[in-house]
C-alpha cells in the first residue's frame, strides 16, 4: 500500500522565489488499484507521481510504501527498494540510445536481485514477446517507432517484477491508435499480473481504463473517486 | 551486464566526445613521457660519457673547453693541441695517481682516402691509459697493436670484413664499445703509434696528409689518488701551469647541462600550459556530457541505480577513455623517440640514450597515471554534481 | 571508421612516396664515386625509388576503402594493406637498406619515417579487417534470428 501524508513539494526557482507544486496532499493507494491522475498542465500531477516513486524528496510530509517511510532510508536502500518494487514509464523517450531493445529491457537486472544471466535473458525475451516485439530484440531505439519504444519501456518496467508501475503521460507523444493500443496493454497487465498502477495523463477519456480517478488542480486533489 | 559494460556502451554513443577525451589523454600522457624520456636520456648519456672517460680531471688547452665537450658529446671533431711537456708537469703533482695523454684527430671530409668523413679519432697511450684499456681487458681483448682500432657503437667496417680506410691507411676494427648515446659512439680509438704511422704514410697515400704537430697532445686525463680532493688538485694545476684549463668531471659538459636545464624549463612550461588547457577542456566536455545525459542518468536512478553507481559509471567511462587515449599516445611517443632518436639528437644538440626496458616501463606508467589522473580530475565535479541531483529534476525539460 | 582509415592510408601513401625523395642522401647532394670516376647514388636512393612501388598500391587500397561498400572487398583490402605496410618497413631495413652512418639524413629522417608509416599502415588495415569481421558476424546473427 502506498500512503502519502500531508505531503508538500516546493521547488526553489532561485533569487528567493519558489513554486509549490504539491500542497499538503494526503492519499492512499491500495494494492492492485489502477489509479489514473488527471489535471491540467501545472496541476502537480507529475510531481505527485515523482513523490510516490521517491524520485523527489518532499519538502514536508511522508511517503510510505508498505509502512516504510521512503525518506528515512539511505540512498542504497531506497534505490534497492525502487529497483525491486517499482517500475517506471516516462513521457519522454527514456530508452538508452546506445543499447538494443533487449539490452534496455535487461538493464534493471543490474540493480535488482542477483540472478543467473540466462534467467535474465529469458525473462527479457518473454517480456518483449508479451509486448509484441519479439522481432525487434536487436533493434536500437532509433530504429523503433514511438509506440514501439513505449512498449519496450513497459517491458523494461516489468523486468524486476515490480509491485507498482508508475507511468507519467506514457501516451502523450503517440497517435490516437497507438495510444489506445498502449492503454489496452496497461489494462491487460493490470488484470493479468495484479500490479498496482498509477498513471498520470491530461486526457480525460483514458479515465475509463482505471479503477479510480484522481483530479488535481493547483497542487491539490480536488476529486478522488472510483 | 555491469558497470564496465554500461560504460563501454556509453563511450561508443558519442564519437566526438570520445575523440576529444581520448585526444586530451593522449596529449597529456605523451607529453609527460616525451619530457621524462628526453631529460633522463640526456642525463644518462652525460653520465655514461663521464664514466667512459674514467677521469677525475681533464686538462685541455685554455679556451678549448667548449670544443672538447662538443667532441666527446656530439662527435664534432676537435683540433687543439698543447705541448707534451705539460704531461710530465701534471704527473709530478703528488695527488695525481695517473695521467694519460690523448690526441684528437679527424678524417677528411668527402675524400676518397677516408671511407668515413669527419670521423672523430681519439689517440691514446696504452702504457698510461685508463679509458680504453680497462674496457679491452673486461672484454678479453689484447692491447691494440699497430694498425688496430676500436670503434664506438656506430663504427663499422667499410672495406672488407674488418677494415676502414683512414688517410689511405687500412686499419682493422677489432671491437665496438657499448653505446653511450654521445659522440663517442661515432668515434674511433687508436694508439699514438698507429696515429703517427698513419701520419707518416699519409704523405703518399692520402689526398691531404695527416699533420700532427710535433711533441703535441690535445688533452691529459687525470685520475686523482684515492682520498685526495680532485677540486683542490684542479685549482693547483690551474695556478701552477699556465695556458691550460683543468675541468673536473663533475663540471664536464656544464654548458650542455645548462642547455638541458633550459630546455627542461621550456618543456615543463609548455607542458603545464597544455595540461591546464586539457583539463579545462575536459572539464567542459564532461560538464556538457553530464548535462546532455542528465535525463538518461535520471532514468538509471529510477531503475534502481544508486548515486554512487551513477558517479562510478561516469568516472569509469572517463577512465576507459583516458586509458585508451593515454596508452595510444604513450605507444606513439615511444615509437617516435625510438625511430627518430638520431634526428632528435641533431635537432636538440643534446646526447640521448634510450633507457633500459625497466626504466622505460616505469616512465610509461607515470605517463599513463598522469593521463588517468587528469581525465578523472576533470570528470570529478560534473560526476559529483549529476549523481547528487534529484532524479525527477534531472529528468525535467 | 573504414572511410577514416582509407583517408589515413592515402595520406600514408603520399608520405611513403614523397618524403624519401627529399630525405635520401642524393637529395642532399651526396653520392658515391666509383673507382672509375663514375658517380652513383647510394642505396638509400634505391630504397626511396622502391618505396614508390609500394606507395602507389597503398594509395589505391586507401581509395577503395573510401569508395567500396562490399564486406568481402574490405577483408581483401585490409590484408593487402598489411602486406604493403610490411613491405614499406622491409625496404629500408632488410631488403635494400640505408646508409650506415647514423648522422646521415636517410638514417635520421627517411628510415624512421618509413618504419612509422609502414607500422601505421598495418595498424589501419588491421582496424578495417576487424570491422569487416564484425560486419560478417553481425550479418550472420541477423540471418540466424530471421531464420
What are the pLDDT digits (tens) for A172-198?
888 888 888 888 888 888 888 889 999
Q: Does the residue B273 lie in any domain?
A: yes
Does the structure show a pLDDT above 60 at B387? yes
| Of the candidate ranges B106-120, B331-345, B354-368, B381-395, the one whose mean pLDDT is the lowest | B106-120
Task: Say if residues C7 and C123 touch (Cβ distance below 8 Å).
Answer: no
Using the structure block, give the residue that is written with the C-alpha cell 640505408. Answer: C98
Q: Does the residue B247 lie in any domain?
A: no
Q: Which helix (H) or strand (E) holds B97?
A: strand B96-106
Residues of chain C with Cβ-Cβ distance to A137 below 8 Å are 145
CA dihedral B109, B113, B115, B119 (to 10 degrees): -40
pLDDT of amino acid A114: 79
Work out how many CB contacts closer than 8 A connect B with C.
33
What are the pLDDT digits (tens) for C79-131?
999 999 999 999 999 999 888 777 788 888 999 999 999 999 999 999 888 88
The percent of residues in chain C predicted with pLDDT above 70, rounded, is 88
Across B136-154, average pLDDT: 85
> Do residues B161 and B17 both lie within one domain?
no
Domain boundary among B209, B242, B275: B242
What are the pLDDT digits (tens) for B314-335?
999 999 999 999 999 999 999 9
Does the structure show a pLDDT above 60 at A121? yes
Mean pLDDT of chain B: 87
Using the structure block, give the residue that is written with the C-alpha cell 682493422. Answer: B172
Taking the C-alpha atoms of residue B261 and residue B36, their distance in angstroms, rounded to an integer, is 13
Task: Say if residues C102 and B154 touch (Cβ distance below 8 Å).
Answer: yes
Does the structure show a pLDDT above 50 at C146? no
Sign for the CA dihedral angle at B269, B270, B274, B277 comes to: positive
Range from A106-110, A116-120, B259-263, B267-271 that averages highest in pLDDT: A106-110
**All domains of chain A in start order, with CATH:** 31-43+74-225 (3.40.50.300)
Q: Does the residue B54 lie in any domain?
A: no
Range from A78-92, B63-77, B241-255, C61-75 that averages highest in pLDDT: A78-92
Q: Which residue has the higher pLDDT, A13 or B244?
A: B244
- Please count the structural domains in chain B: 2
> Do residues B205 and B325 both lie within one domain?
no
What single DSSP character describes residue A75? H
How remote is the C-alpha of B65 from its chain's centroid? 21
Residues of chain A with Cβ-Cβ distance to C141 below 8 Å are 138
Task: Say if residues C99 and C107 touch (Cβ distance below 8 Å).
Answer: yes
- Give the structural domain span for B389: 3-47+257-394
> Do residues B236 and B158 both lie within one domain?
yes
| Of the candidate ranges B289-293, C70-74, C82-86, the one whose mean pLDDT is the lowest | C70-74
Among A5, A3, A2, A8, residue whose Cα is nearest residue A220: A8
pLDDT of amino acid A105: 94
* Complex ipTM tops 0.85: yes
Does the structure show a pLDDT above 90 at A125? yes
Q: Does the residue B249 lie in any domain?
A: no
> Do residues B266 and B186 both lie within one domain?
no
Contact A50 B303 (CB under 8 A): no
Task: Say if residues B44 and B253 touch (Cβ distance below 8 Å).
Answer: no
pLDDT band at C144 (very low <50, low <70, confident <90, very high): low
Which residues are registered as beta bridge partners of A217?
Answer: A220
Q: Does the residue B57 lie in any domain?
A: no
Mean pLDDT of chain A: 90
- Please count the structural domains in chain C: 1
> Do residues B73 and B37 both lie within one domain?
no
| Cβ count within 10 A of residue A80 | 17
Q: Which helix (H) or strand (E) holds C53?
A: helix C43-67
Does the structure show a pLDDT above 90 at C44? no
Does the structure show a pLDDT above 50 at A108? yes
pLDDT band at C147 (very low <50, low <70, confident <90, very high): very low
Domain boundary among B184, B207, B242: B242
Task: Say if residues A105 and A127 touch (Cβ distance below 8 Å).
Answer: yes
Q: Render B346-373 in DSSP notation, one character per residue.
A: HHHT----PPPHHHHHHHHHHHHHHHHH
Does the structure show a pLDDT above 50 at B209? yes
Taking the C-alpha atoms of residue B339 and residue B344, their distance in angstroms, rounded to an integer, is 10
> Do residues B265 and B211 both lie within one domain?
no
> Do residues B272 and B363 both lie within one domain?
yes
**Closest CB to C102 among B154, B158, B336:** B154
What are the pLDDT digits (tens) for B342-379?
888 888 777 778 888 898 999 999 999 999 999 999 99
Contact B343 C115 (CB under 8 A): no
pLDDT band at B245 (very low <50, low <70, confident <90, very high): very high
- Give the structural domain span for C43: 2-146
Among B60, C83, C51, B394, residue whose Cα is nearest residue A92: B394
- Helix ranges (H only) for chain A are 45-52, 75-85, 101-106, 117-130, 146-157, 176-193
> Do residues B161 and B121 both lie within one domain?
yes
Taking the C-alpha atoms of residue C25 and residue B284, their distance in angstroms, rounded to an integer, is 49
Q: Does the residue B148 lie in any domain?
A: yes
C-alpha cell at A140: 536500437
**Of how many residues is chain A composed?**
226
Domain boundary among B208, B242, B276: B242
Q: Does the residue B297 lie in any domain?
A: yes
Min distance B351 CA to chain C CA atoms (Å): 12
Q: Does the residue B248 lie in any domain?
A: no
State the best of C112, C120, C134 to mutate against chain B, taking most chain B CBs within 10 Å.
Answer: C112
Q: Which helix (H) or strand (E) holds B317?
A: helix B307-339
> Do residues B225 and B356 both lie within one domain?
no
Amino acid at each position: 500500500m502506498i500512503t502519502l501524508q500531508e505531503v508538500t513539494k516546493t521547488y526553489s526557482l532561485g533569487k528567493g522565489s519558489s513554486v509549490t507544486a504539491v500542497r499538503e496532499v494526503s492519499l492512499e493507494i491500495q494494492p492492485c488499484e489502477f489509479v489514473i491522475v488527471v489535471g491540467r498542465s501545472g496541476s502537480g500531477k507529475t510531481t505527485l507521481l515523482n513523490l510516490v516513486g521517491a524520485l523527489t524528496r518532499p519538502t514536508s510530509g511522508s511517503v510510505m510504501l508498505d509502512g516504510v517511510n521512503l525518506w528515512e532510508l539511505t540512498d542504497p536502500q531506497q534505490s534497492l527498494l525502487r529497483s525491486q518494487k517499482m517500475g517506471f514509464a516516462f513521457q519522454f523517450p527514456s530508452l538508452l540510445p546506445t543499447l538494443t531493445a533487449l539490452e534496455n529491457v535487461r538493464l534493471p537486472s543490474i540493480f535488482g536481485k542477483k540472478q543467473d544471466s540466462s534467467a535474465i535473458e529469458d525473462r527479457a525475451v518473454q517480456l518483449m514477446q508479451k509486448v509484441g516485439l519479439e522481432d525487434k530484440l536487436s533493434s536500437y531505439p532509433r530504429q523503433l517507432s514511438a509506440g514501439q519504444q513505449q512498449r519496450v519501456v513497459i517491458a523494461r518496467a516489468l523486468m524486476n517484477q515490480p509491485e507498482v508501475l508508475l507511468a507519467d503521460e506514457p501516451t502523450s507523444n503517440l497517435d490516437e491508435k497507438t495510444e489506445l493500443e498502449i492503454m489496452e496493454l496497461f489494462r491487460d497487465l493490470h488484470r493479468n499480473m495484479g500490479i498496482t498502477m498509477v498513471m498520470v495523463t491530461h486526457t480525460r477519456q483514458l479515465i475509463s481504463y482505471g479503477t479510480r480517478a484522481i483530479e488535481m488542480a493547483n497542487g491539490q486533489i480536488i476529486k478522488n473517486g472510483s | 551486464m555491469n558497470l564496465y559494460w554500461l560504460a563501454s556502451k556509453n563511450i561508443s554513443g558519442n564519437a566526438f566526445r570520445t575523440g576529444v577525451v581520448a585526444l586530451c589523454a593522449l596529449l597529456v600522457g605523451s607529453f609527460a613521457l616525451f619530457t621524462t624520456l628526453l631529460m633522463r636520456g640526456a642525463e644518462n648519456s652525460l653520465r655514461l660519457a663521464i664514466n667512459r672517460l674514467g677521469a677525475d680531471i681533464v686538462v685541455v688547452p685554455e679556451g678549448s673547453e667548449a670544443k672538447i665537450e662538443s667532441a666527446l658529446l656530439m662527435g664534432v671533431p676537435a683540433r687543439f693541441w698543447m705541448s707534451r711537456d705539460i704531461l710530465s708537469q701534471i704527473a709530478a703533482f703528488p695527488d695525481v695517481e695517473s695521467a694519460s695523454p690523448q690526441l684528437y684527430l679527424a678524417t677528411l671530409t668527402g675524400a676518397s682516402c677516408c671511407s668515413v668523413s669527419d670521423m672523430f679519432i681519439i689517440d691514446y697511450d696504452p702504457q698510461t691509459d685508463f679509458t680504453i684499456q680497462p674496457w679491452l681487458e673486461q672484454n678479453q681483448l689484447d692491447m691494440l697493436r699497430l694498425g688496430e682500432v676500436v670503434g664506438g657503437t656506430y663504427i663499422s667496417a667499410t672495406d672488407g670484413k674488418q677494415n676502414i680506410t683512414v688517410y689511405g691507411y687500412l686499419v682493422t676494427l677489432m671491437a665496438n664499445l657499448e653505446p653511450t648515446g654521445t659522440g663517442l659512439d661515432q668515434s674511433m680509438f687508436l694508439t699514438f703509434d698507429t696515429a703517427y704511422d698513419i701520419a707518416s704514410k699519409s704523405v703518399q697515400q692520402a689526398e691531404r696528409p695527416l699533420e700532427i704537430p710535433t711533441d703535441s697532445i690535445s688533452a691529459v686525463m687525470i685520475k686523482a689518488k684515492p682520498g685526495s680532493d680532485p677540486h683542490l688538485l684542479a685549482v693547483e694545476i690551474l695556478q701552477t701551469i699556465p695556458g691550460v684549463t683543468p675541468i673536473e668531471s663533475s663540471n664536464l659538459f656544464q654548458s650542455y647541462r645548462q642547455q638541458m636545464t633550459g630546455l627542461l624549463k621550456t618543456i615543463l612550461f609548455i607542458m603545464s600550459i597544455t595540461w591546464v588547457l586539457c583539463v579545462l577542456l575536459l572539464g567542459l566536455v564532461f560538464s556538457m556530457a553530464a548535462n546532455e545525459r542528465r535525463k538518461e542518468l535520471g532514468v538509471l536512478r529510477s531503475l534502481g541505480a544508486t548515486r554512487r553507481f551513477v558517479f562510478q559509471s561516469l568516472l569509469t567511462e572517463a577512465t576507459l577513455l583516458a586509458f585508451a587515449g593515454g596508452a595510444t599516445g604513450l605507444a606513439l611517443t615511444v615509437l617516435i623517440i625510438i625511430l627518430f632518436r638520431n634526428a632528435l639528437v641533431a635537432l636538440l644538440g643534446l646526447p640521448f640514450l634510450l633507457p633500459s626496458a625497466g626504466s622505460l616501463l616505469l616512465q610509461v606508467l607515470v605517463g599513463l597515471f598522469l593521463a588517468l589522473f587528469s581525465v578523472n580530475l576533470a570528470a570529478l565535479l560534473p560526476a559529483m554534481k549529476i549523481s547528487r541531483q534529484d532524479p525527477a529534476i534531472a529528468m525535467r525539460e | 571508421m573504414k572511410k577514416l582509415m582509407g583517408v589515413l592510408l592515402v595520406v600514408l601513401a603520399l608520405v611513403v612516396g614523397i618524403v624519401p625523395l627529399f630525405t635520401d642522401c642524393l637529395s642532399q647532394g651526396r653520392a658515391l664515386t666509383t673507382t672509375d670516376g663514375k658517380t652513383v647514388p647510394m642505396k638509400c636512393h634505391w630504397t626511396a625509388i622502391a618505396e614508390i612501388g609500394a606507395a602507389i598500391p597503398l594509395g589505391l587500397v586507401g581509395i577503395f576503402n573510401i569508395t567500396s561498400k562490399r564486406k568481402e572487398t574490405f577483408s581483401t583490402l585490409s590484408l593487402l594493406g598489411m602486406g604493403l605496410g610490411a613491405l614499406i618497413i622491409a625496404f629500408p631495413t632488410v631488403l635494400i637498406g640505408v646508409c650506415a652512418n647514423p648522422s646521415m639524413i636517410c638514417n635520421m629522417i627517411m628510415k624512421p619515417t618509413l618504419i612509422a608509416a609502414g607500422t601505421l599502415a598495418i595498424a589501419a588495415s588491421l582496424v578495417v579487417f576487424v570491422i569487416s569481421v564484425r560486419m560478417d558476424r553481425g550479418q550472420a546473427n541477423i540471418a540466424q534470428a530471421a531464420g
